[in-house]
Structure 1
Amino acid sequence: MRLRLLLLALGAFAMGTDTMVMAGILGRISGDLGVSVPAAGQLVTVFALSYALLAPVLAAVTARWPRRRLLLVALTVFTVANALSALAPDYPTLLATRVLAAAGAALYTPGASAAATALAPPERRGRAIATVLGGMTVATALGVPLGTYVGRADWRLTMWLVTVLGAVALLGLAAFLRELPAPAPSVGLRERMAPLRDRRVLGAVATTFTFFVAFQSVYIYLGTAVRPATGGDADRLSAVLLATGVASVAGSWLGGRAVDRWGVRKVLLVGSTIAIACFAALPWLGRTMPGTFGYALLVPLAGWSISVAQPHRLASLNPGNAPLLLSLNSSALYLGMAAGGTVGSLAIALLGERWFPLAASALGVAALVLAAGTTRPAAATGKARTGTPAPDPVKSAAG
């Protein structure tokens, strides 16, 4: 099981690198293809929006597919798309290949999380999901710096690096991943979309979206928030971002264990509370390097713990429709990432460069309220009346 989870994580690592490394090579792309840096930046936006829109659609269309085939097809599409990106002769072609790569990622990431839950026993599913999602967090700490370094002379080399990573994951899963338990019996599209009428599902998706808008609205402009501490020095900021990446890996790892031990509800409430406090304190923390590093360590720990808890929560609500539900969570996450930049810039315009993280704190409170209201244990009343533990078949959804 461990090898298969690591191969699933390798695929997630490739996709995490592909998602985030563009920011490090936009200048090279701009110069090579003769477009402005803002235009090159639209490659990131197009990828995120394509992923968000395609994930639930592809999950519904492929609901009848065996999970092994789904993962292999997704990795094939992703790998071919990145090879085409590396060969793209002009900007429009590169833009089209980013949409194709997003389609592969949108199909793979929810499928890999669902596969992790199928491979692991119930008491270890949090850790299994954390292993797969750990590929995304390791991409933040390792893949992005590596991809940026490789592409310092030619951005196409970065695309070839991602292509190789995707190909290795594809070959490994083709060789070692046996067929997984079949998804839910084939039904019509209307029946497949029925889980979307579940208040718990909508609450979970809304929580993911709101929290990641808050998180990204600060992360994208972190250099601005901590400029009093770094003095605008690139090396100091790089050290802060490295600390953020390492803490993201730790948050994913610890989050899986926390979910298995204490349940989703507690992880969501505690993680959100820590993040809210850090957002609110950043106007003061960002004035010194020790305070800045404290923020850079605590917020990713909390944020990636929440990132592990949310897919576990959704998969537990309706295991038969896990790929669809996880695709919705992924869509909400990527939409949050896309919206975070706009919200952050508006917050800076309204509140100023020092105080704009307070807007993220307010959004964090909204996410906390959503999480608290939609994960309330249904059996709590019965437990209080009888004085005996009530059964909790969906511990991860109810906490």
Structure 2
Amino acid sequence: MQMRTSWWSVPLLGFGVFAVATNEFVLAGMLPHLKSSLDVSTATAGQVVTVYALACAVFGPVLATVTAAWPRRRALVGAALIYLVGTVGAAVAPSFGLLLVAQAVAATGTGLFVPVAAATGAALVPPERRGRAIATVLTGFTAATAFGAPIGTAFGSQFGWRATMWFVAALAVVGIAGLVALVPKDIAAPPPETLRRRLAPLADSRVLTTLATTMVAFTSVYVLYTYLAEIFAPATDDDGGRVAVLMFTFGVVAILGSYLAGVLTDRIGGRAVTASCLIWVGVCMLALPLVTDSFAASIGFVGVLAVAGFSMSAPQQHRLIGLNPGLAAVLVSLHASILYLAIALAGAVGGLSLSVGGRGSLGFAAAALAVLALALSELAHRLATKAARTTEAAPAREAGQTTGAARTTEAAQDTDAVSAPSAPQAQLSGD
């Protein structure tokens, strides 16, 4: 009975991630509705995405530290309830300011729920199935981008953005009921991890530069995704259904692109894949003004961009883990936080660009960010290469010093012992 419960628990955790992550992007497709409903500009409306992502990045790790000693089901239900309160608050918010506050509350729940769900999924299965369990849980995040946000956008185009928020809240209620019914109470928490230890790798310039590459690269991509409805307004005629089609295309192709990027990373390395993706994204962004007047061309463009747009996560995580495999879990956690920061920056940078240069400037701003990310990627590679050479040179220097000392000793020995150095030399060679 316990095994059956555990088997259903892992997909249920994936559904929970799908529910809490959908809110992060669903309002990106609803910016025209927010603009008219709350009497704000499109650039201002886009800050709902900024605030949500920033709250995930900042408050999620803090809450994860605070609740580290809690039983996993209690932490999950607590995170889901925080998310539900924020989502309901967003649905009834009478002003844009209160909408931002409510979204920040919901985002705090999301930032806690996702990593705890992944760890819980791994704890529910035997060691040989943990990788698949984590992948199953985190597939909910991908599904939120590919399916949740487009469905919510289409729903909101018919019934209004507040109805979309109620729809997302209903998903959370179903998820909470499933958590209580199917996730065991007695899942032990891992040893508490301090926030200082979580942030310690940032003192390494190689880690910091690699994370900066991820942040700037995904800021470039999310500038387009956040303001998708505004950028392609001439092609969609502000039709929410058409915007949903663009979002769906982006999400589905991104899933396929991410898989291919993982395969390529194993073959040619993370640096080459990241560089290729960034060049691809930069060229696409420069071509953006050529396709925004035709819906068919817009679908094609979004599909082409999505191949590389979300394909940088796997190679970047591969590069991070390669820097210090012993801290893989901490580095992956930092990578997740950096992605949230990228989404937040995209809303802010895109809003500023929209205010200053209009929708036509967004593609150029995104292209410039892609170029900057490429420069950071190459800097990260040079720092990693330099550190590797230094590490390799240290044993050689130590070996040279040991050999020199041995030769000094040999010179003082009797000539009958001339053949003796073969033994220590062999030992040094073995080291």
- CA distance in 1: counterparts of 2:337 and 2:7, whole angstroms: 27
The correspondence for 2:143, drawn from 138, 162, 167, is: 138
Counterpart of 1:59? 64
- Asked if 1:168 corresponds to 2:174, the answer is yes
Q: Give per-residue Cα distances to partners, 1:56-98, cap 9 Å, x unaligned.
A: 3233434444555433432232234324444557666554432
Q: CA 1:263–1:63 in 2, change beyond 3 Å: closer, same or farther?
A: farther
CA separation of 1:294 and 1:109: change in aligned 2, threshold 3 A: same
Corresponding residue of 2:419 = none
- Length-normalised TM-score, structure 2: 0.68
* Cα separation, 2, equivalents of 1:5 and 1:310: 26
Contact 1:27 1:37 in 2 (8 A): no
Measured after TM superposition, the shift of residue 103 of structure 1 is: 0.8
Change (3 A) 1:349 1:190: closer
Counterpart position of 1:244: 250
Q: 1:47 aligns with which of 43, 52, 67?
A: 52
Whole-Å separation in 1 of the counterparts to 2:204 and 2:120: 23
**Structure 1: how far apart are the matches of 2:27 and 2:103?**
11
Q: Is the 8 A contact 1:63 1:186 kept in 2?
A: yes
The residue that corresponds to 1:71 in the other structure is 76
Contact 2:270–2:319, Cα closer than 8 Å, also in 1: yes
- 2:39 maps to which residue? 36
1:77/1:104 contact within 8 Å kept: yes
> Cα RMSD over matched residues?
4.3
Unaligned runs of 5+ in 2: 1-5, 393-431
1:15 corresponds to which of 20, 45, 52:
20
User: Across the two proteins, how many residue pairs are aligned to each other?
Assistant: 377
User: Could you say if the C-alpha distance between residues 24 and 99 of structure 1 is closer, same or farther in structure 2, counting changes exceeding 3 Å?
Assistant: same
Letter in 2 for 1:278: C
SS at the partner of 1:305? coil
State TM-score, norm by structure 1: 0.73
Q: Which runs of 5+ in 1 are unaligned?
A: 384-399
Displacement, 1:302? 1.7
CA distance in 1, matches of 2:136, 2:218: 20
Change (3 A) 1:204 1:112: farther
Q: Counterpart of 1:335? A: 341
* Cα distance in 2 between the residues matched to 1:160 and 1:55: 23
The alpha-carbon distance between structure 1 residues 354 and 158, as it changes in their structure 2 partners (threshold 3 A), is closer
Structure 1 position 278 matched with structure 2 position 284: yes
- Structure 1 residues 126-183: Cα deviation after superposition (integer angstroms, max 9, x where no partner): x766544442333233222332344433544423322232233334445555677854
Measure, in 2, the Cα distance between the counterparts of 1:116 and 1:210: 31
Query: Structure 1 residue 10: deviation in Å?
Result: 1.7
Report the residue type matching 1:168 in the other structure. Answer: V
Correspondence for 2:380 among 360, 374, 381: 374
How does 1:42-121 map onto structure 2 within 5 Å? 42-65=47-70, 67=72, 69-86=74-91, 94-114=99-119
**What amino acid sits opposite 2:341 in the alignment?**
L
| Inter-partner Cα distance in structure 1 for 2:95 and 2:355 | 35
Tell me the percent identity.
40
3-state SS of the aligned residue for 2:159? coil
User: Cα 1:360–1:79, aligned 2, differ >3 Å: closer, same or farther?
Assistant: same
After TM superposition, give the deviation of residue 210 of structure 1 in Å: 0.3
- Letter in structure 1 aligned against 2:82: V
> For residues 354 and 85 of structure 1, do their structure 2 counterparts lie closer, same or farther at Cα, with a shift above 3 Å needed?
closer
The match for 2:199 is 193
Q: Residues 191 and 345 (structure 1 numbering): CA distance in 2 closer, same or farther, change over 3 Å?
A: closer
State the Cα distance separating 1:19 from its structure 2 match. Answer: 1.5
Q: Give 1:303's aligned amino acid.
A: G
Q: Alpha carbons of 1:62 and 1:195: their partners in 2 closer, same or farther (altered >3 Å)?
A: farther
Decide which moves more: 197-206 or 90-99. 90-99
When Rg is computed on C-alpha atoms for both structures, the one with the higher figure is 2
- 1:46 and 1:252 mapped to 2: Cα distance? 26
Distance in 2 of aligned mates of 1:47 and 1:112? 19
SS of 1:158's partner is: helix
The Cα of 1:18 is off from its aligned counterpart by 0.9
CA contact (8 A) 2:29 2:243 kept: no
Distance 1:116 1:207, change over 3 A: farther
**Which segment is superposed worse, 250-259 or 141-150?**
250-259
